[in-house]
Copies of this chain bind each other. A is one copy, B any other.
Amino acid sequence: MAEAVTYELLHKDAKTGARRGVIHTPHGDIQTPVFMPVGTQAAVKCMRPEQVRDMGAEIILSNTYHLYMRPGHDLIKEAGGLHKYMNWDRAILTDSGGFQVFSLGRLRKITEEGVSFQSHIDGSSHMLSPEKCMEIQQALGSDIMMAFDECAPYPAERDYIVDSMHRTMRWLERCKAAWTNRENQALFGIMQGGVFKDLRRESAEIITDMDLPGYAVGGLSVGEPKDIMLDVMDDCVELLPENKPRYLMGVGTPDYLFEAVERGIDMCDCVEPTRIARHGIATTSHGRINLKNAQYTRDFTPLDDECDCYACRHYSKAYIRHMIKAGEAMGPMLLSEHNLHFLINMMKNMRKAIEEDRFMEYKTEFYEKYGGFD
């Protein structure tokens, strides 16, 4: 039986771990490395799907936990699947819901079976298990399904991470067993192990032994210092096979994207571009700007003089600031468009740089212009 999702390596950067590839899916090809916009509740916030597509997005991420809670995976299945329901005909990756369920804190309880929790909407009781997680994602019909895992917090005791990682590995076996729609949907395994390199190695061996269509690095960027994160990531990427896509979960600021791609990561996602948009913040080639700052009151230039997105072609900072201050939906609409376009365009530039073996040169140029990260 043909795999639903396959990876093709096109070129490796001569000087770094960065690599240029294509992921083939039932809903089209994805040029990698790629940034995936997030459509948590079956919509990329403040954006029409055509706008997301037209800026070059070939895949979006949607959240299993949220869709399970509302409107329900059975309803989406009845609607003809998530693609049709939300009017997005390109690829979709769904997360496992694990991250959200574990984030519920006191409202959830972990057992070998899975996680029991109370809905953040109405307090109703639910259980998410590897089998349930696969049932939901197969009802949604996403192209790439993520295994049910525990994304352990930082800091955490080694003993906790050992237990958690091993349980996640047992859950992955159960996910694989419950994965029936292999012709149309791929299952990606997730490496855990916190910041402990030996545990990462053990986890990597277990997941790669299962020969899945793709692998993710989970449990990073959860609060650990940047240098520790980058050090662990160095190891993680090397532990993953070259012939499968590598996905670093929940990362989406320019600096982390550069660091991840430099090490050989192919896929990233983050809610940040649309979230900061709702707070009046734009990412530009000269760094971040907050449109609420008074200095933009009479600034009639575009958000970014190097950007050709819809917002930059048609509107000034002064106008967008007014929209934000006046509470008009147009403010987040324009900033979401710009912020997503910015990251997608940056990834496009990274791909071109890799093809030309000048990834580090592009990174250096970008950083110099951007001027410092947090």
Contacts and interface: CB of A to CB of B under 8 A. Distances in A.
A43 B86 contact: no
A15 interface: no
B322 A48 contact: no
A229 to B, nearest CB: 31
A43 B314 contact: no
A315 interface: yes
Identical chains in the assembly: 2
B87 A43 contact: no
A323 B43 contact: yes
A132 to B, nearest CB: 21
A334 to B, nearest CB: 9
A109 interface: no
Interface in A127-175: none
Given A71-B297, A326-B70, A333-B329, A42 B79 contact: no
A11 interface: no
A71 B333 contact: no
A85 B319 contact: yes
A43 B79 contact: no
B45 A319 contact: no
Contacts of A87: 314-315
A300 interface: yes
A198 interface: no
Given A79-B319, A314-B87, A43 B330 contact: yes
B298 A75 contact: yes
A42 B318 CA distance: 12
A79 B48 contact: no
B71 A318 contact: yes
A221 interface: no
A78 interface: yes
Contacts of A329: 43, 45-46, 329, 332-333
B45 A322 contact: no
Interface string A309-341: 010001110110111011011101100000000
Nearest to A78: B298
Top-4 shortest CB links A-B:
A43-B330, A71-B322, A87-B314, A46-B329
Interface of A: 41-43, 45-48, 66, 70-71, 75, 78-80, 85-87, 297-298, 300, 310, 314-316, 318-319, 321-323, 325-326, 328-330, 332-333
